[in-house]
């Protein structure tokens, strides 16, 4: 029995932030059920490629050297360019055209390094958009980031977005978001919700606009208190585990101290919610046919949308897919509802 019916989905996925790798450096990555090398050439361009040299399998991020715009293997010095072509065998006058390094299309956009993964090597099927707020330092603060490793399949994490009822129970919020729209169009989803936010001055009516481009890239705009924008990126480490990276910015209020107080409060609140969600995600089963309430969120629509990203197919042999271990809960700080005394559910 597998942990979930899903293989690793295809799409654009965040593999790091630009500061993770300097020009001339190579770093190991573990994503998509494999090993990769992230390296930055001396022109500043980032590359993601399979970690193992096609000659005899050395790991290019463990001792490999960036030489101008190529990476040299630590074992016998073969070199590869950013397309994965073997450009030099130092002890031969020839190169090996078959000795190619698998190369993942890689971009840097919105202050993220993103790589396209497809199990069969298909070219990207959609673009990652520019997000205005992350390209507007005059009006938006420097980003804050958070990074988590979660032992659960991508789909279980992403399904939270469709699950409005869980907010009251897992996060003790005043009430769950009120769904105003959930549209699906190819790899895109757009969800519009109303939400009450607890604040030191009482509960404030706000909005949450969540937009996704495939399984790995979501942008969430929170309105009502102060404009806050979050890029949420789930990247599969394997079929059953994910790295989750959050990148936040807040509209500047014209006062650095206030900007940082508002930003910190918001980031802490989201961080607490992830810590609260994690033991649910890590210990839950996946039910092929859940028993839903009439007022539950748009699970069926979400699952149909998600199913398009599994090029290797979905296992349909079971009704229940159970976790393979038991995972402890993390430390949770007080939530905004608890701090500000708004009435959580009894």
Residues that bind ligand FES (CB under 6 A): 53, 55-58, 73, 75-78
Of 66 and 114, nearer to ligand FES (C-beta) is: 66
CB nearer to ligand FES: pick between 68 and 180: 68
- What is the closest distance, in whole angstroms, from the C-beta atom of residue 39 to ligand FES in the complex? 14
Sheet harboring 26-29: ordered strands across? 26-29, 36-40, 46-50, 103-104
Tokens encoding 316: 């349909």
Residues 306-309: contacts with CB under 8 Å, at least 24 apart? 306/9, 306/155, 306/158, 306/159, 306/215, 308/187, 309/9, 309/10, 309/11, 309/187, 309/214, 309/215
Nearer to ligand FES, 56 or 320 (CB): 56
- Give whole-number Cα distances, 171 to 168, 198, 274, 278, 303, in Å: 6, 12, 9, 12, 23
| Least distance from ligand FES to the Cβ atom of residue 82, Å | 17
Compute the least distance from the CB of residue 55 to ligand FES, in Å: 3
Nearer to ligand FES, 53 or 210 (CB): 53
- Residue 50 or 277 with smaller CB distance to ligand FES: 50
Task: Tell me how far, at minimum, the Cβ of 59 lies from ligand FES, in Å.
Answer: 9
Rounded Cα distance between 51 and 328, Å, is 32
Which residue, 37 or 229, has its beta carbon nearer to ligand FES? 37
Smallest separation (angstroms) from ligand FES to the CB of 77: 6
Closer to ligand FES by CB, 55 or 188: give it.
55
152: nearest Cα among 332, 330, 333, 322: 322
Quote the least distance from Cβ 101 to ligand FES, whole Å.
10
> Residue 163 is encoded by which pair of tokens?
């699950």
Cα-based torsion angle of the residue sequence 290, 292, 298, 299 in order, rounded to the nearest 10 degrees: -10
Q: How far is CA 150 from CA 94, 113, 198, 240, 290, in A?
A: 45, 20, 27, 9, 23
Smallest distance from ligand FES to CB 43, Å: 23
């Amino acid at each position: 029995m597998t942990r979930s019916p899903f293989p690793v989905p295809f799409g654009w996925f965040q593999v790091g932030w630009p500061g993770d790798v300097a020009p001339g450096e190579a770093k190991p990555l573990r994503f998509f059920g494999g090993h990769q090398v992230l390296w930055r050439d001396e022109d500043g361009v980032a590359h993601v490629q399979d970690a193992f040299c096609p000659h005899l399998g050395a790991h290019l991020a463990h001792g490999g050297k960036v030489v101008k715009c190529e990476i040299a293997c630590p074992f016998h010095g073969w070199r590869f360019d950013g397309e994965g072509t073997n450009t030099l065998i130092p002890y031969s006058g020839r190169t090996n055209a078959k000795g190619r390094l698998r190369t993942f299309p890689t971009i840097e956009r919105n202050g993220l390094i993103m790589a396209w993964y497809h199990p069969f090597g298909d070219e990207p099927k959609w673009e990652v958009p520019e997000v205005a707020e992350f390209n507007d330092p005059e009006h938006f603060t420097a980003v804050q980031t958070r990074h988590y490793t979660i032992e659960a399949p991508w789909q279980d994490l992403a399904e939270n977005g469709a699950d409005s009822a869980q907010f009251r129970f897992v996060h003790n919020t005043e009430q769950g978001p009120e769904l105003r729209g959930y549209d699906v169009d190819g790899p895109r989803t757009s969800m519009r919700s109303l939400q009450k936010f607890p604040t030191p001055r009482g509960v404030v009516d706000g909005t949450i606009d969540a937009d996704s481009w495939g399984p790995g890239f979501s942008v969430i705009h929170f309105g009502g208190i102060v404009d806050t924008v979050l890029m949420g990126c789930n990247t599969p480490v394997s079929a059953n585990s994910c790295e989750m990276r959050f990148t936040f910015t807040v509209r500047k209020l014209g006062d650095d101290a206030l900007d940082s107080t508002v930003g910190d409060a918001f980031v802490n609140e989201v961080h607490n919610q992830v810590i609260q969600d994690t033991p649910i995600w890590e210990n839950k089963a996946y039910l092929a046919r859940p028993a839903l309430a009439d007022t539950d969120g748009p699970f069926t629509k979400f699952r149909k949308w998600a199913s398009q990203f599994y090029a290797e197919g979905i296992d349909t042999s079971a009704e229940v897919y159970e976790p393979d271990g038991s995972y402890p809960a993390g430390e949770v700080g007080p939530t905004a509802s608890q701090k500000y005394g708004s009435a959580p559910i009894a």
